[in-house]
Amino acid sequence: MDKKELIKKAAQTLFFQYGWEKVSIGEICQQANISRVTFYKHFTNKKELLKQLFTEQKEEMWQAFNDLLENAKSLDLLIQRIFQLQKHAMQTLYSQEMVYDLQHHKDEELQAFFAEMEQEKYQFMHYFFTTLQQKSIIRDDFPVLLIEIFIRKIDELKTDPALLQCYQGKDQQFLKDILSLLMYGIAAKA
């Protein structure tokens, strides 16, 4: 594994455990067993490293979702695979500590970066659900705009204090329930 990959792996491990705000470049270097000079050969700062991790994760997810679209045969299999992808993301990058930092950071550069990523996500979801409609996997009598707005509301639900309390310690079940509610609600009529 090259040095850049060692740095990313070390950062991902530490960010997952503690969130990115609490982790220093020195701790990343120590975890990766590299010098600060080596770190700065590959990354300008911790923000650049963080953005690269999120960008790579987004690209992996989009590729997986495109593969799903190509091979989608049934809604049940599609839901199972989406849940596996969500579970993987929750086990590699989206820990409670990372989600907390996402919701509470004040850095304007990162806010702009995450806002852009969110818009890209919604654009991709438009394409994804339009394609599912064209393949008759989901209902075509719902406008994709309705599905998009529903997804935005789901994103709001993920931060609702009452729901978080209800699902405390059951993050995976929360995501599974939200996904099931959406996907079975828009399932193509048999």
Q: Which amino acid is at 2?
A: D
- Whether the model pTM is above 0.75: yes
In the numeric block, the tokens 């008759």 are attached to 136
Q: What is the pLDDT of residue 144?
A: 93
Q: Which amino acid is at 180?
A: S
Q: What is the pLDDT of residue 59?
A: 95
Burial class (CB in 10 A: 0-12, 13-18, 19+), 7: buried
Please state, in angstroms and rounded to a whole number, the distance separating the CA atoms of residues 34 and 3.
8
* Phi-psi region at 33: left, alpha or beta (left = phi > 0; alpha = psi -120 to 50): left
Give the pair of three-digit tokens for residue 126. 């438009």
Q: What is the pLDDT of residue 190?
A: 65
Q: What is the pLDDT of residue 35?
A: 96
Low-confidence ranges of the chain (pLDDT < 50): none
